Each structure stands twice: as C-alpha cells, then as structure tokens.
Amino acid sequence: MEPAVEELMPRLLPVGDCDLPDDFDPTVPPRTPQEYLRRVQIEAARCPDVVVAQIDPKKLRKKQTVNISISGCQPAPEGYSPTLKWQQQQVANFSAVRQSLNKHRNHWRSQHLDSNVTMPKSEDEEGWQKFCLGERLYSEIDTLSDNENLGIDYIKMGFPPLLSIVSRMNQATVTSVLEYLINWFGEKKFTPELGRWLYALLACLEKPLLPEAHSLIRQLARRCSEVRVLEENKNEEQVSALNLMICLVSRYFDQRDLADEPS
C-alpha cells in the first residue's frame, strides 16, 4: 500500500514493526500474534486498489425490478363489503385446511400421480401457468371442440390443485408458482381455476413468511381489490372469491392494513 494512501486510512489497531525471525514464511499458518498481524499486512498490501465484479447477465433472473407500494386495498363496492363474522369464518375454515394438509402431507406425497401429470420445473413460469390454468385459458381460447366433450383434457383445461400435487411442492416451488400466477393475474381476469390454485398455494405457505412471500401476498390482495372495483356486473360469486383472497391475506397472514372494513 502506498504511503500517501495509507495516511488517509487511520489504523484501527496500531501495529508497530514486528520482531520476526529471518525465516518467517507468510504462506504457513501463523504461530504468534505478531506473525498473524504481519501476514494481514502483507495480504492487504497485495489487494488491488479497484476490484471489478465479473457478472454474467445470463444468470440474472428476468423481471428484477420490484415495485413496492405501501398503500392499502381499494374499498369494496358499496353493498359488497364482507361482514366481520364472514371473514372470521373464512379464516377458521382456512386454518382447518392448513392443519389437515400438514397432517396428511406425507400420505398424499406418497400417492402416485396419473401418467398424464408432469409437473414443470420450478423455474418454468410459462409451464406452470399452463399447468395450473390450462392451455385454453392461457392462450385465451374460448371455443370448445367436439372432442373435449368426451372427457376432461387437463392439458387444455389445467390440472386442479390436487393434494397429491401440492404436497410434492417445497416452499421454494410454492413461492415461485404463486409469483407466476400473480404475474399472470396482473394482466388478466380472475377465474375459478386461478382462484382454486391461489387458495391451495396460500394453504401451503409456511409461517413465518419469507420476505418474498410477504410481498407477493400483499400484491395479490391489492390486485384482487382492483379487479373487484372494476367488476362491471358485480357477479356475487366472483366478488366473494376476491373478498376471500383479501380476507386470507389480511386476517390470516396478519396484513391488517389491507383488511376490508366490516359492513
């Protein structure tokens, strides 16, 4: 280290000249405090003044930008705000579902999946969106062919969140799939298929929440409140499903600032 630079950096631990033997070898483990301090001095002198990190852009995940909002949910349309009793009942039901899932997780995980069930890899966003919602909904195809009347084509219609499926998902996968579906929901309408999967994934989230999961569920509640306000026909079943998502996020996962005020 150059003397001019060293003068600008006050020493936290003043070190004088070390009385070391002539055969001192800085490459071997130090045997005395003096040898240790001398070795630190030598290593510090060899450090470059400027270090540039070598970053491979290909390894960076897409959509790195995170927008954080501290605003709450938009109020429910007049006449559609859920009662406190209804919200408390939904929380109790949800808690029972979570307890049952945790109790029987090993059993359901051991069940064989049907031959047509191939779970995507955790990082495959498009694959999971098609798996959960179906290629028909993902591609926004509303027409049904004659062949589809013969039976349920899960590839086109989407796989339901069966216990044998969600029990195989670890927390990292649960969080990733939740993010993928919320991303999809950010630009699309709310559907029963989406609602079933969101409910199941929330039931699989472990407490205490990881920061990423915490941000995701708040994003979900806000999006539900936005869609609820924009519901033109105010379909009671649709609004109830949106109320349920907001209720679980706010009251079960303790995001009280997002809760609906009781009607």
Cα 30 to Cα 14, 17, 97, 150, 245: the distances in Å are 19, 16, 59, 78, 61
The residue-averaged pLDDT of 202-223 equals: 95
pTM of the model: 0.69
Domains identified in the chain and CATH numbers: 84-140+153-258 (1.20.58.1070)
Looking at residue 4, its pLDDT comes to 47
Looking at residue 1, its pLDDT comes to 47
Contacts of residue 159, defined as CB under 8 A and 6 or more positions apart, other chains included, come to: 117, 131, 132, 165
Q: CA Rg, the chain, in Å?
A: 28
For the cut 80, the answer to whether the pLDDT of residue 34 exceeds it is no
| pLDDT tens digits, 153-183 | 778 888 999 999 999 999 999 999 999 999 9
For the cut 60, the answer to whether the pLDDT of residue 213 exceeds it is yes
Task: Give the residue among 19, 26, 31 at the shortest CA–CA distance from 43.
Answer: 26
- How deeply is 196 buried, as exposed, middle or buried, from its count of CB atoms within 10 A (0-12, 13-18, 19+)? middle
For the cut 80, the answer to whether the pLDDT of residue 114 exceeds it is yes
Looking at residue 256, its pLDDT comes to 92
Average pLDDT, the chain: 82
Band of the pLDDT at 232, cuts 50, 70, 90?
Answer: low
| pLDDT tens digits, 53-84 | 777 665 555 555 544 445 678 888 888 889 99
